[in-house]
Amino acid sequence: MSDADLKNALGQTTSQTAPGASVASPASNGLMARRFRGFLPVVIDVETGGFHSTTDALLEIAAVLIDIDADGTLKRGATHSFHVKPFEGARLDPAALSITGIDPFHPLRPALPEKDALGRVFREVRHAVHAHNCRRAILVGHNAAFDLGFLNAAIVRADVKRNPFHPFSCFDTATLAGAALGQTVLAKALAVAGIQWDPSSAHSASYDAERTADVFCLICNRLADSFKDAQDRARSMGWSNVAPADTPGDEPPIGT
Q: Point out the residues that are catalytic.
A: 203
Distance CA 5, CA 224 (A): 15
* Partners of 79 in beta bridges: 64
Sign of CA dihedral 188, 194, 200, 205: negative
CA 200, chain centre distance (Å): 21
For strand 39-48 and strand 58-68, is the pairing parallel, antiparallel, or unpaired?
antiparallel
CA triplet 108, 110, 113: central angle to 5 degrees? Answer: 135
Q: CA end-to-end span of the chain, whole Å?
A: 43
Contact at 8 Å (CB) between 121 and 63? yes
